[in-house]
Amino acid sequence: MRELVAILVCVAALCVAVGSSVGFAVRHNSAVPPADLPTKADQTTIAQTFSPTVAAPSPQIPTPAPLVATSPPPAVPTATPVATVVAPVAPTPGEESDAAGRESFKNRGCSTCHSIAGTGNPRHPLDGVGSRWTAEQLHAWITGSGFATERLPASVAHRKQQYTSIPRDEMNALVRFLSDLKTTQRGN
């Protein structure tokens, strides 16, 4: 009898855990599907496009006669290729910081929690963040310090404090990159 009760308690605990997990996921995850996953309409179109269909030969359409070449095609004159040398264009300082900031955003895994132009986690989009916050405020948000500490959940603020060790040049490039995100963009 004790074994039966123990099994029932384990099953009940497992059901509560699964139910809580599902409830949490439903409440805290966006209803918008990720942009890189095909929708049902996309899957139907793909299936229709690539499904193998074999048509039976039609008795009304005669088989065409094979083509016979009567003479070789005329020779087409070809030009001798000329090598061209293109000097690399040096990026402007703004482009360098944009590239460095974008690279830092990518390498630091920021898209795990945030998205830009529909790429990344859609729960916390950063589109238009440059028009809402100053460079100092963006730095505080990135590092979970200053006024952002009061606005962020404690666990998130604690997690973001690891970014205080980012080298100054990289942090400045990341802040400039985010400062340039002035308008709200939607996914591709």
When mean pLDDT is compared across 5-19, 54-68, 91-105, 174-188, the lowest value belongs to: 54-68
**Residue 186 pLDDT greater than 70, yes or no:** no
C-alpha–C-alpha distance, residues 108 and 177, integer Å = 14
Task: Place 142 in a pLDDT band, splitting at 50, 70 and 90.
Answer: very high
The pLDDT, as a whole number, for residue 175 is 92
What value does the mean pLDDT of the chain take? Answer: 74
Q: What CATH class does 93-179 carry? A: mainly alpha
Q: DSSP per residue over 142-177, as a string?
A: HHT-TTHHHHS-HHHHHHHGGGGGS-HHHHHHHHHH
The pLDDT, as a whole number, for residue 4 is 86
CA nearest 178: which of 116, 92, 90? 116
C-alpha–C-alpha distance, residues 182 and 72, integer Å = 62
**Residue 168 pLDDT greater than 80, yes or no:** yes
| Mean pLDDT for the stretch of residues 2-31 | 78
The share of the chain scoring above pLDDT 90, in percent, equals 20
Query: Which tokens hold the place of 165?
Result: 């060790």
Angstrom CA distances, 161 to 60, 66, 107, 149, 169, stand at 76, 75, 17, 10, 17
Domain boundaries, the chain: 93-179
* 92: helix, strand or coil: coil
Strand partners, 125: 115
**Residue 63 pLDDT greater than 70, yes or no:** no
C-alpha–C-alpha distance, residues 110 and 49, integer Å = 37
The pLDDT, as a whole number, for residue 30 is 53
DSSP 8-state symbol, 65: P
